[in-house]
Structure 1
Amino acid sequence: MTASRTIPLAPSASVHEHAWITESVHLTSDGRVRYVRCAGCSVRRVDVDTAALLPPAALTREIG
């Protein structure tokens, strides 16, 4: 594929790797819901822990 036929990537919304800090945790029927905030840029997101052995998965997009 030549360079003239490729689709440019969308610019990244983040210029750094987020360092998520849990602000609060709530148990729900879907798992443990975490409200998290990036320590570097204060962007917020909601995550859910559905299984004890898996990392949290984002429920929402980054806000802020």
Structure 2
Amino acid sequence: MSAPDTLSLPVTASVHEHAWVTESVHATSEGRVRYVRCTGCRARRVDLDPAAATPPVPLSREV
């Protein structure tokens, strides 16, 4: 099968500033793991809160 015979999948890109809301939080030895969802596009991500004085750090990308 050659390239002209295959279909390209559309690439979806985020076109807005995500508004993350927390769905659940779990304490771990590394800090608090936070499962978040964007209220606009419903993308999900996992964040780590390593300490109360620093902002959350994404552990995953949007899906």
TM-score (structure 2 length as normaliser): 0.79
How far apart are 1:13 and its partner, in Å?
2.4
Q: Give me the CA root mean square deviation.
A: 1.5
Larger radius of gyration: 2
Task: Give the share of equivalent positions with the same residue, in percent.
Answer: 70
Query: TM-score, normalization: structure 1?
Result: 0.77
Aligned equivalents of 1:22, 1:43: Cα separation in 2: 12
List runs of 5+ in structure 1 lacking aligned partners. Answer: 1-10
Gaps of 5+ in 2: 1-10
Q: Which runs of 4+ in 1 moved over 3 A?
A: none
